[in-house]
Structure 1
Amino acid sequence: MKFYFSFFLCITMSILFAQTNNYEISFENAVHHETVVKGTFPELEIDTVTFRMSRSSPGRYALHEFAKNVYSFKATDSKGNILEVLRPDPYSWNVIGHDGTIKISYTLFANRGGGTYSQVDETHAHLNIPATFMYAPTLKDREIAVDFKIREDLGWKVATQLPLVSGTTYSAPNLYYFMDSPTEISNHSVREFQVDNHGKTQTIRFVLHHNGTEEELDSYFENVKKTVLAEKEVYGELPDFDYGTYTFLACYIPNASGDGMEHRNSTILTSTRSLANGGMEGNIGTVSHEFFHAWNVERIRPKSLEPFNFEETNMSGALWFAEGFTSYYTNLILCRAGIISTEKYVEGISGTFNYVWNSPARQFFNPIEMSYQAPFVDAATSVDPVNRENTFISYYSYGSVLGLALDLSLREEKLNLDDFMKLVWRQYGKTEKPYVIENLQQVLAEYAGNDFANTFFNKYIYKSEMPDYSALLNSVGVILKQDSEVPYFGAAVSLDGDGHGEIQSNPKIGTPAYDAGLDKGDVITDINGSGFPDGQQFSAYIEKLKVGDTLKITFERFGAEKKTTLLLKANPDYSLLLMEKEGDKPSKKQLRKRADWLKTLAP
């Protein structure tokens, strides 16, 4: 996902030249998740060379400290003499006293099969390059050759966006391209199709490592093709993929970790759901999301992520657009492609809408500032408690509902978001000119006028106001409905081992639980003198009560008994529903606008 490149594609026999960094990786001890990596770095002109493991990875914004899984590091010169190694920090190895060539070797433990880490076992070698290969920062502009020593006894084959040199050796023009090139080595299946792109053929390749059948893959691949072509329609063309090919690297296996991670000419797709066990429907959304990134974030790229920093976190205020608008299109594309129904698409927006609309976090941060939180939330880990329930809205979700609002608002002006995205693509994506947020506002002003652009950005991007979704949705025959009779407690409560109820999350500001002074970790022992409602879900118990009911609650906190009174409020959640499902008849104008929005046939 994460690199802006400006290079001429001239990789073939050039890897034979002396100033090429060569790697070899083997998997003899795959059963114990170990791989051995060797590297040769010739024609060195400085005495001390620093080798590093990355601390971050393309598509991620937080630190991941890949060095923690490296051991048995050794360095020699060209004659095999052991070289001195110093450790200035946890992720660097300084090698001293070489003869112009340094050879390194180390063992890597790898056992998480997703988009960020690597996994090696007897089913596959699933390699995220920054999590696997050391690099020398001073040699970042050199070409790279890597020989993947596959396990032929396991039927392994190599799949990657890297160009093949010969056998199992692949190349990269520089460190950045290498780091952005995940690789799947397994006994996988491949499907591909060609797409005409203004007279130039582009190949879309789908690689699947799974335990299912070829027939299941064939069926799934038809939906992949529909998704690709529907997204091409948004921008009017495919990107000009390097080497003419885009590769989906999918692992739908029990030992995977659910994830999706976009790269310049490929993407990682991982899931524990097999195609036969829900994956046919459940996994296709990740396909849609990640492929949309081939335009939005890979080539329509925030300047704040250029160049990508492998040694630190990568922060951007544009993730509401890069990730959020991509999220808006994820299911919209599936609806347009006929993979999900109009009803399912519209009703599916409800969860994201409620998460954003009902969050108290908007009083603290706008979408840009929410994007700044990525280094703390994007698969980051911490041991100290945080208050994300009240202070954070995912930039994926926030941007998604803003994308919906912008699309429907533009359609009120007889415009649409697709054409805006085309314009952004032509000015900043196709030219690979990184943008700043003000550039997006300028493009919107060019497309829809200064007043429209200034209103949208000043209210909803630079501030955290919310558009009039009821009116916008009504314009396409969708109702925003709220049930004022459903009672609301305001915190997740689950049974503990003693038949009491423990509050599982920080109550949100303004909810009944928050106003009553309840907090995460409190254990409810009694409600209105009847004990805790053991034997049923707490949410089902609350649903039987009424808005306005008073609950006298006894609870334990830090071993002490406390009491409070809680007043049930109306559930603030909304449902998005097609008008006709509620017995209302949308007008012909509403139906025409809906058909134009969802690319369906007008009545």
Structure 2
Amino acid sequence: MNPSIHFTLSFSEPQAHYVEVEMHIKSFTSLDYLDLKMPVWAPGSYLIREYPKNVERFSASSTEGKELKTYKTSKNTWRVTHNGDDIIVKYAVYAFENSVRTSHIDHSHAFLSPVGIFMFVNEHLHLPCDISVHMPSHWNKISTGLEPGKDLHTYHADNFDILYDSPLEIGNQDTWSFEVDGVPHEFAMVGIADYDREQISRDVSKIIAEENRIWGSNPNQHYTFITHNYQSAHGGLEHLNSTVLAASRYTYSQPNTYKGYLSLVAHEYFHLWNVKRLRPKALGPFDYEQENYTTGLWIMEGFTAYYDNLIVRRCGFYEEREYLQQLAIDFNTVYNRPGYELQSAAMSSFDTWIKQYRPDENSHNTSISYYNKGAMLAVALDLKIIAETQGERRLDDVIKAAYEQFYLIENRGFEEDEFRLLAEQVSGVDLQEIFQAAHSLEELDYNKYFNAVGYRLIDHNANQHTPTLGIKIVHSDSKTIIKQVDRNSGAWKGGLNVEDELIAINGHRIDPQNKAFDYILAQAKVGDTVSILIARDGLVHTLEIPVLLSDKKAFSIEVIPDADTRATELGKIWLSL
């Protein structure tokens, strides 16, 4: 008889944020012990999150009720002695963290991120498993990408990779369905929010149809959108045939924020091809116990970050001006972080495990995001291909061909050089300088690409001579506190620190409205020195801080008024609806 695993989930104390898990393990008769493991990170969110820290009351017994000896051998491994009998393992998981990648349980619902709930038998990730959910009487719905089982509230996964990629929302969420290109889609709205079902269905259907067109086919039999509505939130995490989104409950009533929500939908849905199937070799099969390193996240997340707003534009939700404003944000975000001179897009990808999800007060000085920089590189690739093929090819053709070659035909991950060679083969364009730029600190001349299609990237601060100290401040409990110091700024050179309290500047008391601070800087010239009184760790100091020229950028992307006809035509192809 083949080994099998069945999980039963119960919620006797949802108000205390617990789920009780019973794991029935059958037919592992040849082993003296079993090692049960829990993942320590979630695919798509590249940080060791230590999910096992929430496990408690672990015990094991035979099906006849005989208690079995258990002990831990590592932070995420529980060893169960075994005499050939079937085993029943029981444990509870505390879940009270609101995010798209962590579980949250309260009286109203349970959102379960599977990597932090379900254990696997060591070296047996390939095994199928079944899940039964025993809901509290006041809950009535389950939304998940898992396949339904034979009985009510039961589900099946062909292996643990699928289980770990299939979150569950359990409670009283508002659900409805619609179909796009023959594939049913379920929407599950969690929490109070003022939204229009018909509008969301209509608008999201346009996005799905456009993405299906780009990729050529949809790999799913069904798809589930789970949205958690909070007072203030924005984010998402992709899964194989579902996504979990976080949004403000006020998002849907304002055009700008609603378009941002549609962009989030476009981003996470795009991932069902780009990342979940088309992927670097390092991103699957996964090692759930340690970091999985790749320099290719600038392609996976960066390309997706480029396409999300572009798809919203193609669907007609963004006017051209609005789309260009969104694209310019990526350039402003990267070039207003001193870290762009120290970290490439590829290294940002590789170091995501220690930098992207663990920012500190100095992160902007040492790092960039592969989302923003990857989007910049993606637009360069798209525009170069459009320009040099006279509009016959574009980045769409590259990613579709890569999906077909590496996933549909060869069913494997790719190396970056393979991706570049395929891109050049499909487009007929030499793309090496852009791919090399992803691994370099040398910046591309992006206007070379924008100008070729009738647009230009303009820094409106280029001719400004704005004096600055290079700090960001916040006001808290009548105190003015430094929260950021820019590399090589006057504050940096003069010794101001994050968490210093600003008391006075040139003898003027700092006030919560920044009147004195703004007045002194307005009078100062580049090269002057200002005297700043601070409190640091309870001691008062006076520091002389040089006033330097601000290097902050203010980019916009605009039409070139006198662009030649051909460039203008190519620009229309780029931003066509």
Do they fold alike, i.e. is TM over 0.5?
yes
Give the match for residue 376 of structure 1: 354
2:133 paired with 1:158: no
Give the match for residue 264 of structure 1: 240
2:229 paired with 1:252: yes
Q: Is the 8 A contact 1:487 1:543 kept in 2?
A: no
Kindly state the Cα deviation for residue 542 of structure 1 after the two structures are TM-superposed: 7.7
Give the match for residue 185 of structure 2: 204
* Partner residue of 1:404 out of 370, 374, 379: 379
Amino acid at match of 1:125: A
Kindly state the Cα deviation for residue 43 of structure 1 after the two structures are TM-superposed: 0.5
2:218 paired with 1:218: no
2-structure distance, mates of 1:543, 1:386: 24
* Partner residue of 2:293 out of 288, 304, 315: 315
Q: Is the 8 A contact 1:301 1:435 kept in 2?
A: yes
Q: Which runs of 5 or more residues in structure 1 are unaligned?
A: 1-16
2:363 paired with 1:388: yes
2-structure distance, mates of 1:454, 1:411: 16
2:211 paired with 1:231: yes
Q: Is the 8 A contact 2:495 2:543 kept in 1?
A: no
Q: Is the 8 A contact 1:528 1:551 kept in 2?
A: no
Q: How does 1:150-189 map to 2 (within 5 A)?
A: 150-154=135-139, 156-165=140-149, 166-189=151-174
2-structure distance, mates of 1:100, 1:295: 42
TM-score, length basis structure 1: 0.87
* Partner residue of 2:122 out of 129, 137, 145: 137
Kindly state the Cα deviation for residue 48 of structure 1 after the two structures are TM-superposed: 0.5
Instruction: Output one character per residue of 1:41-67: Cα deviation in whole Å (capped at 9) or x when no partner.
Output: 011120111112211112122111111
2-structure distance, mates of 1:560, 1:412: 60
Q: Which has the higher strand share?
A: 2
- Bigger mean CA deviation after superposition, 34-43 or 350-359: 350-359
SS of residue paired to 2:196: helix
What is the number of residues matched between the two proteins?
A: 564
* Partner residue of 1:64 out of 34, 37, 49: 49
SS of residue paired to 2:98: coil
SS of residue paired to 2:217: coil
Q: Is the 8 A contact 1:486 1:571 kept in 2?
A: no
- Bigger mean CA deviation after superposition, 371-380 or 157-166: 371-380
2:461 paired with 1:477: no
Give the match for residue 443 of structure 1: 422
Q: Higher RCO, 1 or 2 (CA under 8 Å, sep at least 6)?
A: 1
Kindly state the Cα deviation for residue 455 of structure 1 after the two structures are TM-superposed: 2.2
SS of residue paired to 2:474: strand
Q: Is the 8 A contact 2:345 2:369 kept in 1?
A: no
Q: Is the 8 A contact 2:185 2:224 kept in 1?
A: yes
Q: Is the 8 A contact 1:56 1:309 kept in 2?
A: no
2-structure distance, mates of 1:407, 1:453: 10
Kindly state the Cα deviation for residue 74 of structure 1 after the two structures are TM-superposed: 1.4
Give the match for residue 193 of structure 1: 178
Instruction: Output one character per residue of 1:344-377: Cα deviation in whole Å (capped at 9) or x when no partner.
Output: 1111223320222343324433221111111113
2-structure distance, mates of 1:375, 1:449: 36
Change in Cα spacing, 1:588 to 1:187, as seen in structure 2 (3 Å) is farther
Give the match for residue 249 of structure 2: 273
Kindly state the Cα deviation for residue 561 of structure 1 after the two structures are TM-superposed: 1.1
Give the match for residue 12 of structure 1: none
Instruction: Output one character per residue of 1:121-166: Cα deviation in whole Å (capped at 9) or x when no partner.
Output: 1221111101111221233222101001123423x21111111112
SS of residue paired to 1:158: strand
2-structure distance, mates of 1:74, 1:127: 21
TM-score, length basis structure 2: 0.91
Amino acid at match of 1:473: F
2-structure distance, mates of 1:131, 1:160: 16
Kindly state the Cα deviation for residue 179 of structure 1 after the two structures are TM-superposed: 1.1
Q: Which runs of 5 or more residues in structure 2 are unaligned?
A: none
1-structure distance, mates of 2:52, 2:351: 24
* Partner residue of 1:572 out of 542, 552, 556: 552
Change in Cα spacing, 1:363 to 1:79, as seen in structure 2 (3 Å) is same
Q: Is the 8 A contact 1:60 1:378 kept in 2?
A: no
Amino acid at match of 1:109: Y
SS of residue paired to 2:471: coil
Q: Is the 8 A contact 1:77 1:99 kept in 2?
A: no
Query: What's the C-alpha RMSD, in Å, of the aligned pairs?
Result: 2.6
Instruction: Output one character per residue of 1:470-528: Cα deviation in whole Å (capped at 9) or x when no partner.
Output: 343343334413233362522202235455x32212x2323343344433233333323
Q: Is the 8 A contact 1:161 1:246 kept in 2?
A: yes
Give the match for residue 342 of structure 1: 320
Give the match for residue 19 of structure 1: 3
2-structure distance, mates of 1:103, 1:542: 71
Identity %: 24
Instruction: Output one character per residue of 1:429-454: Cα deviation in whole Å (capped at 9) or x when no partner.
Output: 3333210111112112213447x222
Change in Cα spacing, 1:275 to 1:368, as seen in structure 2 (3 Å) is closer
SS of residue paired to 1:332: helix
Change in Cα spacing, 1:194 to 1:312, as seen in structure 2 (3 Å) is same
Q: How does 1:405-554 map to 2 (within 5 A)?
A: 405-413=380-388, 414=390, 415-431=393-409, 432-449=411-428, 452-458=430-436, 460-474=437-451, 475-483=453-461, 484-485=463-464, 487-489=466-468, 490-497=470-477, 499=479, 501-505=480-484, 507-536=485-514, 544=522, 548=526, 550-554=528-532
2:55 paired with 1:74: no
Q: Is the 8 A contact 2:467 2:547 kept in 1?
A: no
Give the match for residue 39 of structure 1: 23
